[in-house]
C-alpha cells in the first residue's frame, strides 16, 4: 500500500490526500513510464543527459494549468538548449496534442499518466480523492538527481516560476 499524505494540498480550500512519497532535492528521480505522442511509452531514460523541468497539472483544459503550460513554453526559448520541459497530466494524449496545437505550445512535451497513475504515485502527486495530479514542479539534473521540488499547496494557484527556472539554469550550468 502506497504512503498517503492527508491534507498535503488543498483544492479550492478543501484538504486533499496525496498518494506516494514526497520527493525532495538531493534524491534520485524515480524512473517512470508515461504515455506520449502516438501512445508511445515515455520514460525518464529517454531524457538522459538533459536537465528536466517536470511539471504536473490536474488538466491542461483548466485556466491555471493552461496559463502555466503556456508560460513554461515561452520561458523555454530563454533556457539553455539542454533543458527539456515535460508537462504531465491525466489528460489523454489525444487531448494533450489537441490542446498544444490550439495553444501553439511546441517547446513543452506533454505526457499522460492516465494508464496507471505510476508517475503520480512514484512522485507523490496523485490526488487520491480526484484521481488527478496535483500541481508540482520538479527540476531534475543531467544525472537524474532532483535539484528542486515544489508541491503547490493550493492546487488552483500558480507555481513559483522564477525559482523553478533559476534551478533549471543552475542545473544546466548557465
Burial 148-169 (b: 16+ CB within 10 A, else e): bbbbbeebeeebeeeebbebbb
In which band, very low, low, confident or very high, does the pLDDT at 174 lie, cut at 50, 70 and 90? confident
Quickly count: other Cβ atoms within 10 Å of residue 46's Cβ.
13
What are the tens digits of pLDDT across the range 13-64? Answer: 999 999 999 999 999 999 999 999 999 999 999 999 999 999 999 999 999 9
pTM (two decimals): 0.96
Give the integer Cα–Cα distance in Å for 35 and 43. Answer: 9
Cα torsion 109, 114, 116, 121: sign? positive
Ordered by where they begin, the domains of the chain are 4-171 (3.40.30.10)
Active-site annotation, residues = 65
Amino acid at each position: 500500500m502506497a504512503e498517503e499524505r492527508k491534507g498535503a494540498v488543498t483544492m479550492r480550500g478543501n484538504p486533499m490526500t496525496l498518494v506516494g512519497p514526497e520527493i525532495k532535492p538531493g534524491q534520485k528521480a524515480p524512473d517512470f513510464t508515461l504515455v506520449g505522442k502516438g501512445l508511445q511509452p515515455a520514460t525518464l531514460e529517454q531524457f538522459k543527459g538533459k536537465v528536466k523541468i517536470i511539471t504536473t497539472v490536474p488538466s491542461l483544459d483548466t485556466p491555471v494549468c493552461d496559463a502555466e503550460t503556456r508560460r513554461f513554453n515561452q520561458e523555454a526559448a530563454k533556457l539553455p538548449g539542454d533543458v527539456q520541459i515535460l508537462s504531465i497530466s491525466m489528460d489523454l494524449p489525444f487531448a494533450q496534442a489537441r490542446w498544444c496545437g490550439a495553444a501553439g505550445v511546441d517547446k513543452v512535451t506533454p505526457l499522460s499518466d492516465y494508464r496507471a497513475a505510476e508517475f503520480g504515485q512514484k512522485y507523490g502527486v496523485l490526488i487520491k480523492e480526484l484521481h488527478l495530479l496535483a500541481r508540482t514542479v520538479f527540476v531534475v539534473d543531467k544525472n537524474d538527481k532532483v535539484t528542486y521540488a515544489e508541491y503547490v499547496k493550493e492546487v488552483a494557484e500558480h507555481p513559483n516560476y522564477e525559482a523553478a527556472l533559476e534551478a533549471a539554469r543552475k542545473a544546466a550550468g548557465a
